[in-house]
C-alpha cells in the first residue's frame, strides 16, 4: 500500500507562538493575509517578521485580494521565497504577470457556491488558470474566505486536470472526509485551514492545530 502525503497549509497567522505551533505540528505552508478588511490581516512588515520564524522547507504564502502590482512586489521583496495566493477577482493574465514579475509561483482561489457547487465549472476554471501551481477551492462567502463555511464537495467534477487545495470550513472533524472525497478527482490534493484551528479570528489554538494534522495523517494512512 502506497501512503499518499497530503500537504497542509495553515492560514491567517498573526502571532509568533501560533506560527511555531503550526511548524512543530508539521504544517508545510504558513499563510499570511495581506487584505486590510480581514480580521486576520497583517501588514507586510508583520508578515515578514512572522515568516522569519519559518525553518527550511516550510513555505510562507502571501494572500492577496484584488491588490496592486506595486504592493504585491513590495510584499515579495519583504518575504523571500513566498508563494502568492490570489483570492479575489484577479484574471489569469494578472496572476501570470505577477508570477513572472516576482519570480514566485501562485495559487488561484476558486470561490465555490455554498448551495450550488455543481453550477461552478471547475474544469473550465482550472483550464483558464492553468499557469497556477494549484487551484484552491474555497466556499463563496462575504469577505473572501475565512468564514468557516463548507460547500458540497461531492458535487464537484469527477476529474479535474489540476493540483487542488481544499479549503473552506475545514476542521479536525471533517478534513478526512474532504480528503477521501476529492483526492481521486485531482492530480494531487492539499488542504488549507484557517478558522478550523482558531480560538478567535487570527488567534490559533495549538491543540486544534495538532488535531488537524493528526486527522490529515490518519486519512493518508487509509489510502
Residues 6+ apart with CB under 8 A from 151: 112, 113, 114, 117, 137, 139, 140, 168
Catalytic member of 11, 67, 76, 192: 11
Q: Round to whole Å and give the CA distance between 181 and 97.
A: 33
Quote the strand ranges of the chain, DSSP E: 7-11, 29-33, 59-64, 83-86, 106-112, 134-139, 160-166, 186-193, 198-200, 203-204
Told to judge if 177 belongs to the known catalytic residues of this protein, a careful annotator would answer no
Question: Is 11 annotated in the active site?
Answer: yes
3-state class of 39 per DSSP?
A: coil
Eight-state DSSP code of residue 3: P
Q: Determine contact, residues 33/59, Cβ cutoff 8 Å.
A: no
Could you report how far apart the first and last alpha carbons of the chain are, in Å?
7
CA distance 62 to 30: 9
- Active-site hit among 18, 67, 95, 138: 138
Question: Annotated catalytic sites, by residue?
Answer: 11, 138
Amino acid at each position: 500500500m502506497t501512503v499518499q502525503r497530503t500537504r497542509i497549509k495553515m492560514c491567517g497567522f498573526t502571532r509568533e507562538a501560533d506560527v511555531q505551533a503550526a511548524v512543530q505540528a508539521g504544517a508545510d505552508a504558513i499563510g499570511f493575509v495581506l487584505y486590510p478588511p480581514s480580521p486576520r490581516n497583517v501588514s507586510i512588515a508583520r508578515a515578514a517578521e512572522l515568516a522569519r520564524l519559518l525553518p527550511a522547507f516550510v513555505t510562507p504564502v502571501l494572500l492577496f485580494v484584488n491588490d496592486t502590482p506595486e504592493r504585491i512586489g513590495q510584499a515579495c521583496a519583504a518575504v523571500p521565497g513566498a508563494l502568492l495566493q490570489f483570492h479575489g477577482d484577479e484574471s489569469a493574465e494578472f496572476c501570470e504577470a505577477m508570477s513572472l514579475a516576482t519570480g514566485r509561483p501562485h495559487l488561484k482561489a476558486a470561490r465555490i457556491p455554498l448551495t450550488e457547487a455543481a453550477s461552478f465549472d471547475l474544469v473550465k476554471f482550472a483550464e483558464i488558470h492553468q499557469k497556477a501551481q494549484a487551484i484552491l477551492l474555497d466556499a463563496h462567502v462575504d469577505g473572501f474566505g475565512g468564514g468557516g463555511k463548507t460547500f458540497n464537495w461531492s458535487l464537484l467534477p469527477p476529474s479535474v486536470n489540476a493540483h487542488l487545495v481544499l479549503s473552506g470550513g475545514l476542521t479536525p472533524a471533517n478534513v478526512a472526509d474532504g480528503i477521501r472525497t476529492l483526492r481521486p478527482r485531482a492530480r494531487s490534493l492539499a488542504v488549507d485551514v484557517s478558522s478550523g484551528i482558531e480560538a478567535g479570528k487570527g488567534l490559533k489554538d495549538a491543540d486544534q492545530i495538532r488535531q488537524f494534522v493528526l486527522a490529515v495523517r490518519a486519512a493518508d494512512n487509509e489510502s
